């Protein structure tokens, strides 16, 4: 649609180490499980409450996947910017299910490390394929556009059949 925006911004911690898979033609796909939470005090009882939300984040970008592989592990705090995508899939029993994910892919996706626990220190990475004047640290070269477009426009069944949802 002309004139639409689909953006998710999360700051949270990885609940477990990243999982990196490869499509049949070798492109990497990283999956992160990110927790955000809010705390408040119940007015009636006075007890402290916390509600944690878990987000499934999927990264279709070769350079971002490398970053993820090298620097992120369980507990790392990250800032991510991506888009919402709901995907339909069929479980082993043949039941149709839906999974909503935060997808980082193409322009306007970002991943920034916010703590120093990773060896490489914090850093900010877009998923464009610039090359150009910007080196690996600022704007990491992304996967070939064909890969990105495939991810965006139609993740094929062959790639995703084995994709157990969040």
Position 112 contacts DNA (CB under 7 A):
no
* Residues linked to residue 90 through DSSP beta bridges, in sequence order: 96
CB of 74 to DNA, least distance (A): 6
For residues 104 and 112, what is the distance between their CA atoms, to the nearest angstrom?
12
Q: Is 17 exposed, middle or buried (0-12, 13-18, 19+ CB in 10 A)?
A: middle
For residues 9 and 82, what is the distance between their CA atoms, to the nearest angstrom?
7
Position 47 contacts DNA (CB under 7 A):
no
Closest to 100 measured CA to CA, from 56, 37, 151: 56
Residue 23: contacted member of DNA, a second copy, none (CB under 5 to 8 Å, by partner type): none
Residue 85: contacted member of a second copy, DNA, none (CB under 5 to 8 Å, by partner type): a second copy
Residue pair 125/112 in contact (Cβ under 8 Å)? The answer is: yes
Residues 89-128: x where in contact with a second copy by CB under 8 A, - otherwise, as a string: ------x-xxxx-x---xxx-x-xxxx-----xxxx-xxx
Residues 42-81: x where in contact with a second copy by CB under 8 A, - otherwise, as a string: xxx---xxxxxxxx---------------------x-x-x
Q: Which residues contact 3 (CB under 8 A, 6 or more apart)?
A: none
Give, as ranges, the residues between 125 and 164 that touch DNA (CB under 7 A).
none
Pick from 18, 29, 31, 33: which binds DNA (CB under 7 A)?
33
């Amino acid at each position: 649609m002309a004139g639409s925006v689909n953006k998710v911004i999360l700051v949270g911690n990885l609940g477990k180490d990243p999982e990196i898979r490869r499509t049949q033609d070798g492109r990497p796909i990283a999956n992160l499980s990110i927790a955000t939470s809010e705390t408040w005090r119940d007015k009636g009882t006075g007890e402290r409450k916390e509600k944690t939300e878990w987000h499934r984040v999927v990264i279709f970008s070769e350079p971002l996947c490398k970053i993820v592989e090298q620097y992120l592990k369980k507990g790392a705090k990250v800032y991510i910017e991506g888009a919402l995508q709901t995907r339909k899939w069929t479980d082993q029993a043949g039941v149709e299910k839906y999974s909503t994910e935060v997808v980082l892919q193409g322009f306007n996706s970002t991943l920034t490390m916010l703590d120093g626990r990773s060896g490489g220190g914090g850093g900010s990475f877009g998923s464009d394929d610039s090359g150009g004047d910007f080196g690996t640290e600022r704007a990491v070269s992304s996967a070939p556009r064909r890969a990105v477009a495939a991810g965006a426009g139609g993740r094929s069944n062959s790639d995703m059949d084995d994709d157990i949802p969040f």
